[in-house]
Structure 1
Amino acid sequence: MDIHHTPEQQMLSDGVDRFVREHARFEDWRKLTAAGRPYDEGNWRRMADMGWLALAIPEAHGGFGASAAEIMIVAEGMGRGLLREPFVSTCVLAVRLLARGGTAQQCELFEGIADGSVRIATALAEASGRFHLNHVHTRAAAEGTGYRLSGHKSWVPDASTAQWLIVPARTQGAVDERAGISLFLVPADAAGLQRTDFRAPDHQQISQLQLEGVQLPASALLGPLHGGLALLEEAVDHAIAARLAEACGAMDAVSDMTLDYLKVRKQFGVTIGSFQALQHRMVDMRIACEESRGMLQLARASLDAEPAQRQRAMAAAKARVGQCGLYVGHQAVQLHGGVGTSDELAVSHYLKRLAMIDVAYGNADFQRDRFIALSDAAPGPEAMPAPATQPASAHQEQFA
């Protein structure tokens, strides 16, 4: 699928491509991982210097007020380079919540995000809640002129390096009710907040949070009291769109690696890329990449639609891109043979990253169920795309 950029978007895309070539070498990624570092601080500073961290910040607060298209260009490049910088957590999800929710510290936080000194993680998941944003056990009780938070968050990406946390907590109602959820801005070093860090399969840093009577002032409330869920759903949909772009970048990269390998690996005296069966598998990978990019464009076009339409489109895109990403990743590993499973080769790490992107904000199974539920509630939605069928023989010319 050909994506037509404006001149400004093309300049951004060229800059991202150059950044990935120069600063996202797999050898550097392995050294960073071996050292146990969550991300490359040097790359984060470079991204700040180039203005990428301020893309989603509103112009009124010193940012660029960029559209989803510009955000996706950066996210796609991060997927191609297997970068672990907390761009989506801080510069998409948190910025969206801060911009829509408003806070007395808004200007200061935006300034820190733009220059790279402030990182913010959002604590969404709770035990037994699967991926439902309205499943919130954590409680926030009014106390004096502020609030007292108590609860547990089970899966918080990028919290280990964040100075602030956005924590959904229930201020009224039962655990699964949609109403009664409020958002709070919590300092990462707040008294009563305990954090346990661990490493995800793709080497991303994940944390569990235990909040035991965390005292917050009234100014910590982000958005309307009892009405934070709609704000959260809208911001998460923007984060999903960015993750889909990241997945498309990763799929393109691992597909290119696999094609290059098939052109040089020899068996029985000939390159294995000359075998028609492997050509068909490679073409299926390319089709999955193109299908994912089409779903990405559907997601981008639906971000400004009314909530029901936006949520259906995001569920459809997340489900299909998750399926395609896992397919491409598994095929890449298999076509590389036994070496494809080794840590020394990049393809195995791309597969792990694609698997974790599928899990982020709800995996393909969850999103299909979500799409069905939304379709039942609002008749006449867009249909889910059909799976890719037999590969087109015209694509086999890429092996020439």
Structure 2
Amino acid sequence: MDFALTDEQRMLEETLTRLVADQVSPEQRRTMLAATPNGASALWRTFAELGLLHMPFGEDVGGLGGDGTDLMIIMQALGRGLVPEAYLAGLVLPGQLLALTANSDQQTQWLTPLLEGEHQLALAWQEHNARYDALAIATQATQQDGQWQLSGRKDVVLNLEAAAANLVTARLDNGKLGLFIVPANAPGTSSHFYCTIDDQPAGDLTLDSVTLPPANCLSDDVGDALAEVLALGRAALCAQAIGAMEEACDQTLAYLKERKQFGLPLSTFQALQHRMVDMHLHLEQSRSMAILAATSLILPASERDYKIAAAKAYCGESARFIAEQAIQLHGGMGMSEECYVASYAKHLVMFDHHLGDSDYHFETVSELLKVA
């Protein structure tokens, strides 16, 4: 397959590479992670100025009409630098769902300021007993006196603390899956904030008879739109993991060239060379799967889901392998916070669990093969 970037895409890649190298050093990243959410960060405003917030959205909603390859380039650069901004969780996933389901008034109120960098959102779809199944929803939405009432709990909502509002899925009385926009701190909501193992801000959202006006219902049958957005998210995650795997391999090779034993660099030992080769084989094979995922977003739903599930499953296994090898080749220091490769290892382990782990996606591939 001849996969070549256009001139515009190469410029985007080069611009992002320079931006991340300049503004997201290990020290700068630690400062960003320690900061309390308080409006748009300087880096987020830079994203807005460069048009990165508009890039993955269609021109019909005010975006730049970027495709899966454009998003892949962005996510790969963000993964390479472990950029802590919630580009996927706070912009792409909720924004794409708004673009697919919201009417013009709802888009004006929520989507337009999102693309301008004025606020961020969050997508609350996971539940405790659902195991990555977006349709296994226990949260209930009922209509009373012309208003909607939501009750339930959403777990591991990424970007929950910084979000101006949450897009919440809930089961309707007719059995269909509805989508609602719940403003932050709406009466009846409570949140428990924490960080995932790779330092991503997340939280659990509890809804206790949250009352919403009819205008806050984005869709009364969101199943297909949600599946499309989650497929996009999985493809984007694969690209982000490629960037992190690249950097983990580069840092590990640099360490082997620098560290000496018996008066020789570790990189001269054949056994360790073989392990580095295995890491790069997993990286390059995963890169091909990430490209497959990015280019499959325009396919019919069943074919799209099959190919993206296969890509996510393979990239998840490769990510864990590279994380483990990077830690082992660094030795005990690879587990320390001072050794930056540890941050990449934690990110790669978490990647496998975000939007479905390898086991879940292998099961998906198996089920889709049976149907075919």
For the superposition of Structure 1 and Structure 2, which TM-score range results when normalised by the shorter chain?
A: over 0.9
Q: Letter of the aligned partner of 2:337 in structure 1? A: D
* Matching residue of 2:191: 195
2:323 is the counterpart of 1:329: yes
* Matching residue of 1:382: none
Aligned counterpart for 2:207 among listed residues 206, 211, 215: 211
2:181 is the counterpart of 1:185: yes
Q: Which whole-Å CA distance do the structure 1 matches of 2:29 and 2:277 have between them?
A: 29
Give the 4+ runs in structure 1 shifted more than 4 A: 34-40
Q: Letter of the aligned partner of 1:163 in structure 2? A: A
Q: Is the 8 A contact 1:202 1:356 kept in 2?
A: yes
Q: Which whole-Å CA distance do the structure 1 matches of 2:39 and 2:145 have between them?
A: 40
In the TM superposition, what is the alpha-carbon distance from 1:33 to its structure 2 partner?
Answer: 3.5
Q: Letter of the aligned partner of 2:44 in structure 1? A: W
Q: Identity of paired residues, percent?
A: 36
* Matching residue of 1:123: 124
In the TM superposition, what is the alpha-carbon distance from 1:34 to its structure 2 partner?
Answer: 4.5
Aligned length: 371
* Matching residue of 1:53: 53
2:5 is the counterpart of 1:5: yes
* Matching residue of 1:310: 304
In the TM superposition, what is the alpha-carbon distance from 1:370 to its structure 2 partner?
Answer: 1.3
Q: Which whole-Å CA distance do the structure 2 matches of 1:7 and 1:330 have between them?
A: 36
Q: Secondary structure at the match of 2:273?
A: helix
Q: Letter of the aligned partner of 1:123 in structure 2? A: A
2:371 is the counterpart of 1:370: no
Q: Which whole-Å CA distance do the structure 2 matches of 1:363 and 1:267 have between them?
A: 38
Q: Is the 8 A contact 1:240 1:361 kept in 2?
A: yes
Q: Is the 8 A contact 1:54 1:91 kept in 2?
A: no
Q: Secondary structure at the match of 2:228?
A: helix
Please list every run of 5 or more consecutive structure 2 residues that lacks an aligned counterpart in the other structure: none
What's the CA shift string for 1:266-297, capped at 9, x where partnerless? 10001010001100100111111101111011
What's the CA shift string for 1:177-223, capped at 9, x where partnerless? xx511111111121111111011111111110110111111111223
Q: Letter of the aligned partner of 1:24 in structure 2? A: V
* Matching residue of 2:155: 154
Q: Letter of the aligned partner of 1:316 in structure 2? A: A
Change (3 A) 1:212 1:130: same
Q: Which whole-Å CA distance do the structure 1 matches of 2:267 and 2:343 have between them?
A: 23
In the TM superposition, what is the alpha-carbon distance from 1:37 to its structure 2 partner?
Answer: 6.2
Q: Letter of the aligned partner of 2:260 in structure 1? A: K
Q: Which whole-Å CA distance do the structure 2 matches of 1:333 and 1:376 have between them?
A: 38
Q: Letter of the aligned partner of 2:330 in structure 1? A: H
Q: Letter of the aligned partner of 1:265 in structure 2? A: R
Change (3 A) 1:10 1:192: same
In the TM superposition, what is the alpha-carbon distance from 1:166 to its structure 2 partner?
Answer: 0.5
In the TM superposition, what is the alpha-carbon distance from 1:352 to its structure 2 partner?
Answer: 0.6
Alignment TM-score, normalising by the size of structure 1: 0.89
* Matching residue of 2:347: 353
* Matching residue of 2:100: 100
Matches within 5 A, 1:34-49: 34-35=34-35, 41-49=41-49
Q: Is the 8 A contact 2:310 2:361 kept in 1?
A: yes
Alignment TM-score, normalising by the size of structure 2: 0.96
Q: Which whole-Å CA distance do the structure 2 matches of 1:237 and 1:231 have between them?
A: 10
Please list every run of 5 or more consecutive structure 1 residues that lacks an aligned counterpart in the other structure: 174-178, 380-400
- Which deviates the most, 244-253 or 41-50? 41-50
Q: Letter of the aligned partner of 2:77 in structure 1? A: G
In the TM superposition, what is the alpha-carbon distance from 1:342 to its structure 2 partner?
Answer: 0.5
- Which deviates the most, 305-314 or 26-35? 26-35
What's the CA shift string for 1:29-58, capped at 9, x where partnerless? 223335566998121111111110111232
Aligned counterpart for 1:259 among listed residues 253, 257, 260: 253
Q: Secondary structure at the match of 2:122?
A: strand
* Matching residue of 1:268: 262
* Matching residue of 1:389: none
Q: Secondary structure at the match of 2:356?
A: coil
Q: Is the 8 A contact 1:332 1:340 kept in 2?
A: yes
Q: Is the 8 A contact 2:138 2:170 kept in 1?
A: yes
Q: Secondary structure at the match of 1:161?
A: coil
Q: Which whole-Å CA distance do the structure 2 matches of 1:172 and 1:372 have between them?
A: 32
